[in-house]
Amino acid sequence: MTLSLAEAAAAEAARVLESLGSSPTGLSEEEARRRLRQVGPNAVRSHGARPLAVLARQLNSPLLLLLVAAALVSIVVGEHADAGIILAIVGLSVGLGFVNEYRSERAIEALHERIRHTALTLRDGRAVAVDVTELVPGDLVRLGVGDVVPADLRLLEADGLQCDEAVLTGEPVPEAKTAKPSPTTGPLDLPSCALMGTVVQVVVKRLVAIEDLGNIQVLCTSAAGASLFLGFLPMLPTQILLNNLLYDIGEMTIPTDRVDPELLERPSRWDTAFIRRFMAFFGPISSLFDFATFGVLLGVLHAGAVEFRSGWFVESLATQTLVIFVIRTRRTPSWRSRPSLPLLVTALACATVGVVLPFSPLAGLFGFTALPPAFMGILAGMVAVYLALAEAGKAWFYRPRAGGEPLAVERPRRVRRIERSAARWSRRATP
């Protein structure tokens, strides 16, 4: 019953049947059950959620290694606060990324377990529908137009048959198939065989929470621009790291958030062009208020270096944390869409910690100082204006456009057919 695919492709059909102990009428039900116990299910086993594999992917990050190295250097030079913040960022990022990715893999695995497909197979001379996981060597399978090949098959009869093997080879042109023996010149050059497609996972998101480079970049650009006319660093490295740590903690509950029902009515696709437009539109609004804060601190309050850093820390953390309630939904005004309770609590707590920190006993450790009441009043007004401007910008950004692109864009028919084919493989549930 052992016969390689290359050997089967080069042999006559009758010899293949003989080698596999089968016949033109197929196997008997009893023999098929015996072979199933012997060889196991015809299933792709690539959907198991393995914790150690997920953790290894989270740790396999050059940026993570760079941060660990920076923490070690900070310890050596005596900057223990910096080292503690860096290690906290690393731990939070790895832990949060692991939880999110492992949960996603478990969801995909559970979803995949529910998929069941059958193949028309000859058993005892009759065509019966058999679960594709129960196909065994020697089974005779009938293929029709539009069917997904349920296993690697040696063709016994073929009339004008073509197979789209793009999921294996990437070639856009279908391959012509024949029942005649055809010696192979490569692992996929098998004209007399129909090949089982590979499974393409398109739902799982590697969520590495440490990919917070957008916020770091905004803080470091704005800092670089301000440094052109300041005689001091607008924010110390420790303060930037602390800012990002608190922001990450505040947003770590985003996976618990609710999604507006209208976004679930039909499928939508991952659109990187949309993400670029979104960043290009809303990014300058945040930078504009950073510079407005600089103006208030320098021109109105005549802040020195320590006061300036404290004020900008509070403003930047408050605006980037609270704006999540505006941009998390397309509804206008935003309060028409309720966030989840965990997201609401962590985001507000993060902003509160940022406001209280300059007045706390820890202020000196991080280079902060208490801010005058006048600035706190101005800050509250600026945050309110920023959120209002973001709300107005959102309404304009999502405005209906004549002939504009809908939320769910229909893809070409051939692309949809290939994706359906690639996703139609079953996996036997494990006991």
Give the integer Cα–Cα distance in Å for 257 and 95: 19
Give which of 286, 358, 288, 360 is closest to 322, Cα–Cα: 286
Calculate the alpha carbon distances from 295 to 22, 92, 212, 321, 378 in Å: 84, 34, 27, 22, 12
Helix axes 237-251, 305-322, angle to 10 degrees: 20
**CB-based contact 248:92 (threshold 8 Å):** yes
Q: For residue 407, give every residue at least 6 positions away whose Cβ sits within 8 Å of its Cβ, in sequence order, or none.
A: 263, 266, 268
Strand 153-154 to strand 193-194: parallel, antiparallel, or no bridges (unpaired)?
antiparallel
**CB-based contact 281:273 (threshold 8 Å):** no
In order of their start, the domains of the chain are 1-202 (2.70.150.10), 212-397 (1.20.1110.10)
- Quote the pLDDT of residue 263: 81
Strand 162-163 to strand 175-176: parallel, antiparallel, or no bridges (unpaired)?
antiparallel
- Quote the pLDDT of residue 207: 32
Calculate the alpha carbon distances from 210 to 19, 247, 328 in Å: 55, 12, 20
Q: Is 406 helix (H, G, I), strand (E, B) or coil?
A: coil
Residue type, 192: S
Q: Is 128 helix (H, G, I), strand (E, B) or coil?
A: strand
Give the integer Cα–Cα distance in Å for 375 and 296: 8
Concatenated DSSP letters for 190-233?
A: -TTEEPPPPP---S-----TT--HHHHHHHHHHHHHHHTT-SS-
Concatenated DSSP letters for 146-201?
A: TPPP-S-EE-S--SS-EE--HHHH--SSPEE--SS----SSTT--TTEEPPPPP--
- Quote the pLDDT of residue 431: 42
Other Cβ atoms less than 10 A from the Cβ of 265: the count is 10
Q: How many helices (H) and strands (E) does the chain have?
A: 15, 7
Calculate the alpha carbon distances from 315 to 125, 138, 264, 380 in Å: 77, 71, 35, 9
- Quote the pLDDT of residue 34: 92
**CB-based contact 127:26 (threshold 8 Å):** no
Each of the 431 residues of the chain gets a pLDDT tens digit; together they read: 567 888 888 888 888 888 888 888 888 999 999 988 988 888 765 556 788 888 888 888 777 788 888 888 888 888 888 888 888 878 887 887 788 788 878 877 777 667 677 888 888 888 888 888 888 888 888 877 667 778 888 888 877 777 777 767 777 777 788 888 887 777 778 888 887 864 327 333 333 333 343 344 444 465 555 755 677 778 887 788 788 888 888 888 888 888 888 887 777 777 788 888 888 888 888 778 778 878 888 888 888 889 888 988 998 899 889 999 999 998 888 988 999 999 999 999 999 999 999 999 989 888 899 988 888 888 888 889 889 999 998 988 888 765 555 444 455 666 666 655 655 554 444 44
- Quote the pLDDT of residue 14: 86
- Quote the pLDDT of residue 215: 44
- Quote the pLDDT of residue 214: 38
- Quote the pLDDT of residue 219: 43
Q: Is 142 helix (H, G, I), strand (E, B) or coil?
A: strand
* Residues forming beta bridges with residue 120, ordered by sequence position: 129, 142
Q: First-to-last CA distance in the chain?
A: 27
